[in-house]
């Protein structure tokens, strides 16, 4: 007899301060791995140069965001840097049910909210990972090098980054950021390990007593 399994999908909640490389990491992983998908968030912040609606974010007006919140379309949402950001249920739930792994790049408030979820689907799927820069100096350098923000926005992100970094210990995993390649390798290893956890595997049997016994269920 063959040991065939289906697997429940993971919900990988990835946080870290602006400039930690978490978005790049999530994107790179979901591009490289056909079982993984990136949950595109909704936001009320305006698009940066080069950002595309529906790919980088669902860019919404405050009114449209609020309407979705009222209709209960968000799994979580939070105010970050003075703007609203939220994960739409549509970007997550069906994927996990279908055995696909969802990567969410969200702030520490969003992660705290997800952790408190009483939905068994979310609880079973959750894997939370923090990307921690090696030092504050390195973070400042990375933020400056991004060149995507003006000075005022940069200062705000730095202040928030200092606050966000204090939350690393709330996460099951912390990746102390090195090079992009090493971060990717560590991140992939965490996901590979989580995919092997026995409680995520659902044996596929023909329902016969013999097969059930063989599978130990
Ligand atoms: P940025 O404006 O630089 O793209 O993102 C700012 C912050 O918002 C980042 O810390 C990012 O992780 C967070 N963020 C992005 N999408 C979401 C979301 O859907 N929910 C929450 N809670 N935070 C988000």
Q: Which residues line ligand 1 (CB under 6 A)?
A: 18, 41, 45, 76, 78, 80-81, 85-87, 105-107, 109-110
Residue numbers of the domain that contains 170 = 5-38+101-214
Residue of 68, 107, 160, 164 to test ligand 1 pocket, by largest number of atoms within 8 Å of CB: 107
Q: Residues with Cβ < 8 Å from 37, sequence gap 6 or more? A: 30, 95, 100, 101, 102, 103
In 3D space, the residue among 10, 9, 15 whose CA is nearest the CA of residue 111 turns out to be: 15
Cβ neighbours for 49, distance < 8 A, ≥ 6 positions apart: 148
Q: Does residue 185 sit within a domain?
A: yes
Q: Which pLDDT tens digit goes with each residue over 32-66?
A: 999 999 999 999 999 999 999 999 999 999 999 99
More confident residue, 101 or 158: 101
Q: Is residue 148 part of a domain?
A: yes
* pLDDT at res. 216: 80
**What is the average per-residue pLDDT within 133-142?**
88
Q: Has residue 33 been placed in a domain?
A: yes
Give the residue among 147, 144, 143, 141 at the shortest CA–CA distance from 49: 147
19 within domain boundaries: yes
User: pTM for this one?
Assistant: 0.93
Residue with more model confidence, 24 or 81: 24
Is 143 inside a domain boundary? yes
pLDDT in the model for residue 158: 87
| pLDDT at position 201 over 80 | yes
- Of 32-41, 83-92, 128-137, 140-149, the one with minimum mean pLDDT is 140-149
pLDDT category, 91, cuts 50, 70, 90? very high
Structural domains of the chain, count: 1
**Which pair of tokens denotes residue 42?**
């909704």
Q: Is residue 77 part of a domain?
A: no
Residue nearest to atom 3 of ligand 1 (CA): 18
């Amino acid at each position: 007899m063959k040991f065939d399994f289906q697997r429940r999908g993971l919900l990988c909640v990835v946080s870290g301060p602006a400039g930690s490389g978490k978005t790049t990491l999530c994107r790179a992983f979901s591009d490289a791995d056909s079982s993984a998908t990136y949950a595109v968030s909704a936001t009320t912040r305006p698009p940066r140069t080069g950002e595309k609606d529906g790919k980088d974010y669902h860019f919404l007006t405050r009114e449209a965001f609020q309407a979705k919140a009222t209709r209960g379309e968000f799994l979580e949402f939070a105010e970050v840097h003075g703007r609203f950001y939220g994960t739409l249920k549509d970007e997550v739930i069906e994927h996990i049910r279908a055995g696909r792994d969802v990567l969410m790049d969200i702030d520490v408030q969003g992660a705290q909210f997800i952790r408190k979820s009483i939905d068994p689907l979310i609880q079973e799927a959750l894997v939370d990972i923090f990307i921690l820069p090696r030092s504050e100096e390195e973070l400042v350098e990375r933020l400056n090098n991004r060149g995507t923000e003006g000075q005022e926005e940069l200062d705000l992100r730095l202040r928030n980054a200092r606050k966000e970094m204090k939350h690393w210990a709330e996460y099951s995993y912390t990746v102390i950021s090195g090079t992009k390649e090493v971060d990717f390798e560590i991140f992939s290893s965490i996901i590979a390990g989580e995919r092997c956890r026995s409680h995520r595997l659902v044996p596929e049997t023909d329902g016969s007593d013999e097969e059930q016994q063989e599978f130990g269920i």
